[in-house]
């Protein structure tokens, strides 16, 4: 089977609920295992939250596009925003996963999850937009 959904949402925290709902729907339609559903939910949450919180240096209303596709072998996700040029896969702060408790810093964990949990991640900039495309095998 294949399933695909495209969302255009405004860049507010409240709108991210629509991404959640889309994950629920595609997961149900495609019969994702709970572990795949958890990980796709997490990487979309982290990337979309970053766009909402940091992508735009102006205070204007913006839209972003989220595409979720699934077939029997893999899940593909694409996130498009018209924010400032930013490659989260390269430009995000490096996570601190080693320091002792007292010195531990938490920045960069969300993108670290994205890079660790998917099989392929790409970024490109085109027509003044940031594109992030991810794929994850289902088995």
Least distance CB 118 / another protein (angstroms): 12
- Residue of the chain from 4, 8, 10, 13 that contacts another protein (CB under 8 A): 13
How is residue 100 written in tokens?
């002792």
Q: Is the dihedral of CA 98, 109, 89, 24 positive or negative?
A: positive
User: 34-54 and 109-117 are packed helices; what angle lies between their axes, rounded to 10 degrees?
Assistant: 140
**Helix spans in 5-105 (H):** 16-30, 34-54, 88-91
Q: Residue 101 CA to chain centroid, in angstroms?
A: 28
How is residue 20 written in tokens?
């959640």
Whole-angstrom Cα distance, residue 82 to residue 104? 33
Least distance CB 127 / another protein (angstroms): 29
Least distance CB 54 / another protein (angstroms): 13
Least distance CB 126 / another protein (angstroms): 28
- Residue of the chain from 19, 30, 32, 39 that contacts another protein (CB under 8 A): 39
- Residue of the chain from 56, 76, 78, 112 that contacts another protein (CB under 8 A): 112
Size of residue set near another protein by CB under 8 A = 26
Residues 60-99 as x/- pattern, contact with another protein by CB under 8 A: -----------------------------------xxxx-
Interior angle at CA 33, CA 27 and CA 34, nearest 5: 85
Binding site for another protein (CB under 8 A): 13, 16, 34-35, 38-39, 41-42, 45-46, 49, 95-98, 100-102, 104, 106, 109-110, 112-113, 116-117
């Amino acid at each position: 089977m294949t399933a695909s959904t495209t969302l255009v949402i405004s860049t507010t925290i409240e709108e991210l609920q629509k991404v959640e709902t889309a994950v629920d729907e595609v997961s149900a339609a495609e019969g994702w295992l709970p572990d795949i559903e958890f990980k796709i939910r997490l990487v979309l949450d982290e990337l979309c939250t970053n766009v909402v919180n940091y992508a735009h240096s102006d205070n204007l209303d913006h839209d972003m596009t989220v595409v979720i596709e699934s077939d029997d072998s893999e899940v593909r996700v694409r996130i498009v925003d018209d924010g400032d040029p930013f490659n989260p896969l390269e430009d995000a702060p490096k996570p601190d996963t080693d320091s002792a408790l007292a010195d531990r810093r938490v920045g960069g964990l969300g993108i670290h999850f994205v890079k660790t949990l998917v099989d392929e991640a790409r970024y490109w900039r085109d027509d003044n937009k940031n594109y992030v495309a991810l794929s994850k095998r289902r088995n």
